[in-house]
Amino acid sequence: MRILHVVEPFSSGIITFIIHLTRELNGHEHIVVHGSRTTEDEINSVKRRFDPNVKFVLWRSAGRNINPFQDFRALFELIKILRRKNFDVVHLHSAKAGFLGRLACKMLKIKPVIYTPNGAPFLRLDISVFKRKIFVGLEKLGNVLGGQVICCSKSESLEYLRIGIDCTYINNGTIIDKKEKIVHSKIVVGSVGIATFQKNPIQFNEIARAFEDNNNVEFIWVGGGHLVGQLNSSNVRVTGWLDTSQTEEWLKKIDIYLSCSLWEGLPFAVLEAMNTQCCLLLSNCVGNRDLVRQGDNGYLFDNSNEGVSRLTELVKDREQLENFGINSFNYCKEWFDIKNTAKQYESIYTQVSKN
């Protein structure tokens, strides 16, 4: 089976998902049509993470933000790409690719189409209410154009059902590989990701600041980003940009994974934290709430005060932290194994290719 993947952002968790999926389904042929938001060197470094048999097509005009002129160019460029490629299924990843891809497929009368949002655009809190309503309208229009909507988590699917879009979901998955923890005298609270509005480093810093006088707790932000300056509490260390192997080493040191995200699809960074036996303390947002069994592998929190309260409770009992970490790994293995994710997508590919 030949599967054409279309993705606009050639970075972030979406690419991690496609890498895992194509590796697991390496018995099929995969072509990735991707945007060009990074430099050529960075594009090549991302390509090297894929299985060598995966083929790539650059989608030069694709851009993340709404821009009528550029989007018009991107649409017709995508039409040209779709016309000259033979495939059995088109899998669209992310909102921009999802809308333009479904419009292009409608114009070309291509029916075997799947759309996975990996983060509903109408849940973004970094844009106005008016723009969020526009995104709702675009998602509804895209749905009318055709294709099957498959969300990456149950909570994301509920948001699509809430706005009247029929969908199902297949959980994002990761490679299950139990990592040994690196134990320190201090309890390490950490997060991995780009310091953006979505990841809410301001709240991370607020929670950390409440523990400035506690010498038994330290905070780590693994990554960089334009908002790293907000992580200015004296007990927060920012690593800056690291490669995959360095990030994995830091995850082994983290006892409590703290995510303050405002919205998600189903975050790969948290899945990797579960794979590394981290106790979870996550903001109660779409995507995050699918990963916590309250009081079993960690807690959800609704505001900074509740986050501080839960963290105060957790740091008092290292044995409980270790048990929560083990439970996180077991939960990840049971529900978020990429092998299961891939089998479900393979079944969907087979089903829609017959239409």
Instruction: Give the pLDDT confidence of 96-141 residue by residue, as tens digits.
Output: 999 999 999 999 999 999 999 999 999 999 999 999 999 999 999 9
The H-assigned helical ranges of the chain are 12-24, 40-47, 68-84, 95-107, 129-145, 154-162, 201-209, 244-253, 268-275, 304-315, 318-335, 338-353
Are 204 and 67 within one domain? no
Report residue 44 as tokens: 């090549």
Distance CA 353, CA 355 (A): 5
Residues 352/86/111/350 CA torsion (nearest 10 deg) = 0
Are 121 and 214 within one domain? no
Is 181 part of any domain? no
Is 179 part of any domain? no
- Could you give the C-alpha distances from 58 to 79, 93, 108, 185, 347, in angstroms and in order? 13, 15, 20, 48, 28
Residue 178 has pLDDT above 80, yes or no: no
- Could you give the C-alpha distances from 100 to 113, 138, 147, 264, in angstroms and in order? 12, 10, 12, 22
- Could you give the C-alpha distances from 194 to 84, 131, 270, in angstroms and in order? 36, 23, 13
Are 88 and 236 within one domain? no
Report residue 147 as tokens: 């294709």
pLDDT of residue 245: 84
Taking the model in full, what pTM does it have?
0.92
pLDDT of residue 37: 64
Cα angle for residues 149, 151, 156 (degrees, 5° grid): 125
Residue 41 has pLDDT above 70, yes or no: no
Instruction: Give the pLDDT confidence of 269-317 residue by residue, as tens digits.
Output: 999 999 999 999 999 999 999 999 999 999 999 999 999 999 999 999 9
DSSP-assigned beta bridge partners for residue 218: 188
Are 26 and 161 within one domain? yes
Are 169 and 200 within one domain? no
pLDDT of residue 39: 54
Is 291 part of any domain? yes
- CATH number for the domain spanning 218: value is 3.40.50.2000
Q: In 10 A of CB 70, how many CB atoms? A: 13
Is 178 part of any domain? no
Are 168 and 101 within one domain? yes
| Count of domains forming the chain | 2
| Cβ atoms of 156 and 170 closer than 8 Å | no
Are 125 and 208 within one domain? no
Are 70 and 139 within one domain? yes
Is 151 part of any domain? yes
State the residue range of the domain holding 200.
187-335
Is 324 part of any domain? yes
Is 98 part of any domain? yes
Are 194 and 293 within one domain? yes
Nearest one of 169, 112, 113, 118 to 142, comparing CA atoms: 113
Instruction: Give the pLDDT confidence of 214-256 residue by residue, as tens digits.
Output: 999 999 999 999 999 999 999 999 999 888 889 989 999 999 9
Are 272 and 348 within one domain? no
Is 267 part of any domain? yes
Are 165 and 223 within one domain? no
